Structure 1
Amino acid sequence: MFCTIVAFAQVTTSNIKGLILDETQQPLPGVNVVAIHTPTGTVYGSATNFDGRFNLLNLRVGGPYKITLSYVGYKEQIFNEIYLTLGKTEEIDFAMVPDSQQLDAVVLTGTSSTGTFGADRTGAETNVGRRELTRLPTISRSASDFTRLEPTASNGSFGGRNDQYNNFSLDGAIFTNPFGLDAATPGGQTDSQPISLDAIEQITVSTAPYDVTQSGFTGAAVNAVTKSGTNEFHGTVYGFFRNEDLTGGKVSGEDVVKPKLEQNQYGFSIGGPIIKNKLFFFANFEKDERTDLGTNGFIPNTGSGAVNESRVLEQDLITVQNALLDIGYNPGAYEGFTYGAKSNKGIFKLDWNINETNRLAVIYNYLNASKEKPAHPSALGFRGPSVNTLQFQNSGYEINNNIRSVQLELNSTLSDEASNKFQIGYTHFDDFRNPLSTPAPTITITKDGSNYIIAGHEPFSINNKLDQKVLQFSDNLNFFKGDHTFTIGLSFEKFQFDNSFNLGAYGARGVFFPTTTMSDFQNLVDSGQLQDLFDAANAAHNSLTANGEGVAGGFTLSETNVGQMSFYAQDEWNVNEKFKLTYGVRFDKPLYFDSAEKAQEVIDRGFVVPDIEYYNPNTGERVLIDNTQLPSNQWLISPRLGFNYDVKGDKTFQVRGGSGLFTGRFPFVWLGNQIANPDVFFLQAVDPDYKFPQVWRTNIGTDYKLENGIILTGDVSYTRDTNGAHVQNWGYCHHRQA
């Protein structure tokens, strides 16, 4: 099973900063700066400090904004149509004009330049806004169709790292898969999208952000924020349909099979004011229904010579089907059947301008998704459906991914010199499998040394479920002093995984070794052994069900508790008008809570031989493995340094870069398996000296704007593993000598 983690301290807002000078080009303190988000009337205010600088942090993304500069004895300056990019800073540098000059108030109109040029951009990153989200083509209506615009993207991987090492966040809550199985995002096992594209406002992909508040990745940080309501009511209604007739039928001039397919997606969004300028709502609901051919397009061999004809003879399938029906078991169809998938998801968001200094957002989202699938195609040898192997319909299973999540974010302006962002959230993930088969053994029939026909119970779907409860919070305090913006913060996250996995519980035959060959299948039937296998599977099911979960003689159940506590500090220093330096350090401490005690509970009721010696291939020593001994919980330190140099001072040519350590999470399935599987047949463990993954990443980049407006960007990045994962078989020598 897989799980999803939610944590905070990720990017959800934007900033406006600037330097205000007088007519002699000297810093002008005390200038009143007011930014109004015109769609909602939300007001953000500050005043310039002694060095003429102002800071407006944690603003809503998008726009437009109206920015007003005012000071006694000077003309009022107004900037209109300012749009903010997620996680970026809009810079307003301006020289005020005295009242004595015969000029009217100055009104400037423009758009944000922070997409590429901006003093806070250091490493490589890609931004996707509403324009791209609404205009670029997408078949799956997935965020991955847009994150692949990042130049190093490759099938979910960024910068050459496995997709499990990315950090996906939605409104600050990370939507990723730390358990480390299957897809890297929630709903991935059902091929569902956790959030509708119609609800997303902006997405950014950063592979080297030298900002210590961003964490949890050694690949890329993928941040997305959802839409919010405004002072006007807006809504959309949409629908999408496709089937196999809309799929191409030739590749390089050759005919290819087009399996049956039908998909319907439809939904709506609506947002608006509850109290004008004060309280706003946004809601989205989407439903997806899909049907696919269950055989992947392959058909039994009848001698037709069709391009999609398998080697599996139809008569052999009929023989197996009749034998199973004769003993009272229905294996399902072997051709022409379909598997279904369905999902519904929604989000409801409230934005409350409590007053001019405090803004609260509350976000609730959910996903209910399920998908019927064939038996796992490769985990226990190649099992099809393919040209070599066919499965019966009921050898498949239905996977379910259900999510409920609530998040709260409070942004506060404490004074002209300080602001704060507080986030807290709770998420419950409920993932489980429904086998399409009644209790039965797994039937694996081989021919010519390879798997041929698959029937019976899906081996990984026996009372297979994973329940997760996730609690997290973070708090970031920013304060300003002269040319410096200081950040100090902390975050905490705790994950509870309750996992039940019962591979082989209905019999080892057909799972870990074949049931029989096709030539010997009739002997299996005539001898009564096939009936014996089904009788044993039903007896095992009845006994396990009667005993319950997490007890001796019952279905397995293990609990893993893990988390992380972090502290960090950072300084953003505007050395001068062209050069900005960002430097900071982050401290992350792994937490394992009572997981050692939970491991001992499993040992006490499992089939464990504690005195078996294993072989350490690194030292040649024979060792005993203690599943209650957990990995290192030492503090991990991540220093980072970034810079941005506006070469000409006009945002047409910048050089940027940085270097530092990034600490991610390892797939918690490794730790979960250590706790859940201490018995002699499935023993797994994580080295007690193992540390969370860390990479040292250095990036240098440049951006140049041509006279015709085209921007040329180049980045060179070097990544080196500091703490990397390495898998070894410490039982190999032991079994060989035995």
Structure 2
Amino acid sequence: MKHPLASLFASRVLSRAVASATLVGLATAVPGVYAQETSATVRGAVSTSSGEALAGATVIVTSNATGVSKNVTTDEGGYYSVRGLPAGVSYDIVVDANGWQKASTAGLSLAVGQSEVINYRLDAEEEVIVMGTRVAVDTAVGPNAVFDLAALQDSPSVNRNINDIIQQDPRLYVDQSRGDVDAVQCNGANPRYNSLTVDGVRLNDGFGLNSNGYPTQRMPFPFDAISSVAVELAPMDVVYGGFSACNINAVTKTGSNEFFGSVFFDYGSDSLRGDKLEGDNIESQDYDETRWGVELGGAIIPDKLFFYGAYEKYDGADLNNRGAIGSGAVNEVPVTQAELDEIARISREVYGFEPGRTASEAFDFEDEKYLLKADWYINDAHRLSATYMYNDSFNFTPSDGDLDEF
């Protein structure tokens, strides 16, 4: 149903080869810039039951998904810090010291940019088990909102867009008055002042072609691929820049020792849409839309090399809510259908210009995207992560922005 248009122009967006291969240092002494934007940290202090600092205690942090462990030793003050942990997964922590009973924390979930502070007191007589006790949770210094994998999975997302999730924070507003644009306003600022990073790669609208802040018509990566999202409104950190409103920082899932996957499908059409608006009858435009996707993750080499992939396809319609007087459109333009037809005839016959359709009809909207990711845990201090994202979107956009124009 694609036709030549004048009052409507075709906007085709192709973003491919947004790939990154980054060697991430997981050493606890000096945090890497990349790691601060895509990973998480666990830190705290270990002491005896009487409150004395316990130096030389071993702290082991193990990923439940990959089985990869990080070992550190407490310093003279009993402090420990485990940096560069992949975000969006859960961890088990075990603290062990000679002559003292072990302490542990099970199922600790870490979101992107979080710094979890957990303090342990070891007893000489009985084992102490700490079940996810939190002393403090921080991202970059400054106001922020963090959404882990559980929040992404439990929250409704009709549009399969992270905007549906982050708008739960009252400081973030999603403008839904312009159809599927869904522009994010942080503290009332224009969406063009935001910044979006995925696995440390910036995905901003560098040319200012879209009103949603994305470089593409819709979210440029599959919704199922995201494991954690953090929104930093005013991060006081040198690793952030290129925005004045907020930074939307997302990290993608990684494979695990156990294979996992999912499939989804949804369908919509004009027959499932209402035909009245505030009591007034409106003309229904013929259309149908389908959306489906699949994800799969697993291990190529257990505890060492992992893969993950996600695919999503949308084949739907962009509704044209403007029409002539008496057309029954949601927004009726103050001209008759005969006048629109006459304008179109003059445009074709006199000026040789094709103005497109003059009726209120739905236009095709296609969007295809996928993400591929590989993670290689080289050793305790280094991890190599490569991410490839592809998006191909086709849509018709009105050249006249006002609702009283056709």
TM-score by length of 1: 0.46
* Secondary structure, counterpart of 1:62 in structure 2: coil
The answer as to whether partners of 1:23 and 1:97 remain within 8 angstroms in 2 is yes
With over 3 angstroms needed to count, the CA separation of the structure-2 counterparts of 1:95 and 1:372, relative to structure 1, is: same
Q: In 1, Cα distance between the equivalents of 2:327 and 2:82?
A: 72
Q: 2:51 aligns with which of 19, 25, 39?
A: 25
Question: What secondary structure does 1:132 align onto?
Answer: helix
Q: 2:152 aligns with which of 130, 133, 155?
A: 133
Asked if the contact 2:62/2:69 (under 8 Å) is kept, the reply is yes
Residue of structure 2 in register with 1:587 after alignment: none
Q: 1:151 aligns with which of 170, 194, 201?
A: 170
> Shift of residue 177 of structure 1?
2.0
> Which stretch shows the higher mean deviation, 205-214 or 88-97?
205-214
Residues 85 and 113 of structure 1: is their aligned pair in 2 closer, same or farther, counting only changes over 3 Å? farther
Q: What amino acid sits opposite 2:69 in the alignment?
A: V
Q: Which amino acid aligns with 2:128?
A: V
Separation in 1, partners of 2:138, 2:128 = 25
- Give the whole-Å Cα distance in 2 for the aligned partners of 1:223 and 1:214: 10
Q: How does 1:162-201 map to 2 (within 5 A)?
A: 162-188=190-216, 190=217, 192-201=218-227
C-alpha change, 1:166 and 1:6, in structure 2 (3 Å) is farther
Counterpart position of 2:247: 221
Alignment-derived partner of residue 302 in structure 2:
276
Unpaired segments ≥5 residues, structure 2: 1-10, 21-32, 176-183
Shift of 1:353: 1.1
1:316 and 2:346 correspond: no
Task: Tell me the alpha carbon deviations over residues 340-394 of structure 1, each in whole angstroms, 9 at most, x when there is no partner.
Answer: 11111111111111122221111111111111233x114xxx5xxx55x43xxxx
Q: How does 1:511-522 map to 2 (within 5 A)?
A: none
The 1-side partners of 2:265 and 2:113 are apart by 32
Does the aligned pair in 1 maintain the 2:190–2:245 contact within 8 Å? yes
55 and 364 in structure 1: CA distance in 2 versus 1, 3 angstrom threshold? same
Give 1:351's aligned amino acid: D
Residues 6 and 174, structure 1, Cα contact 8 Å, conserved in 2:
no
Match of 2:132 among 104, 111, 116: 111
* SS, match of residue 192 in structure 2: helix
> Contact 1:14–1:59 (CA<8 Å) still a contact in 2?
yes
The amino acid across from 2:205 in the alignment is N
Distance 1:180 1:17 in 2: 41
- C-alpha spacing 1:31/1:268, structure 2 compared with 1 (3 Å): same
Q: Which has the higher contact order (CA 8 A, sep 6+)?
A: 2
Distance change (3 Å), C-alpha of 1:345 and 1:29: same
**Aligned partner of 2:336: which letter?**
L
Counterparts of 1:705-724 in structure 2, within 5 Å, are none
What residue is the counterpart of 2:387 in the other structure?
363
Match of 1:592 in 2: none
| 2:285 is equivalent to residue 263 of structure 1 | no
Counterpart CA distance in 2 for 1:58 and 1:106 is 27
Deviation for aligned residue 1:269:
0.2
Contact map agreement 2:193 2:244 (CA 8 A) in 1: yes
Matches within 5 A, 1:526-675: none
Instruction: Give the alignment's TM-score, normalised by structure 2.
Output: 0.81
Cα offset, 1:332, TM superposition? 4.0
Determine if the alignment matches structure 1 residue 43 to structure 2 residue 73: no
Name the larger-Rg structure. Answer: 1
1:73/1:315 Cα in 2 relative to 1: closer, same or farther (>3 Å)? closer
Letter in 2 for 1:71: A
**1:298 aligned onto 2:323:** yes
Within 2, Cα distance between the matches of 1:50 and 1:305? 77
Contact 1:259/1:297 (CA < 8 Å) preserved in 2?
Answer: no
Q: Distance in 2 between matches of 1:184 and 1:337?
A: 23
Structure 1 residue 57 displacement after superposition: 0.2
- Report matched runs for 1:480-519 at 5 Å: none
Deviation for aligned residue 1:128: 1.8
Identity of aligned residues (%): 26
Indicate which of 54, 67, 72 corresponds to 2:93.
67
- Structure 1 SS opposite 2:224: helix
**Are residue 160 (structure 1) and residue 188 (structure 2) matched?**
yes
RMSD after superposition: 3.0
Does 1:344 find its partner at 2:368? yes
**Structure 1 residues 456-479: Cα deviation after superposition (integer angstroms, max 9, x where no partner):** xxxxxxxxxxxxxxxxxxxxxxxx
Aligned 8 A contact 1:19 1:52 in 2: yes
Equivalence for 2:142? 123
CA contact (8 A) 1:3 1:186 kept: no
Counterpart amino acid of residue 315 in structure 1? A
How many angstroms does 1:23 deviate by? Answer: 3.9
Aligned partner of residue 76 in structure 1, secondary structure = strand
Q: Across the two proteins, how many residue pairs are aligned to each other?
A: 370
Mapped to 2, the partners of 1:229 and 1:307 lie a distance apart of 47
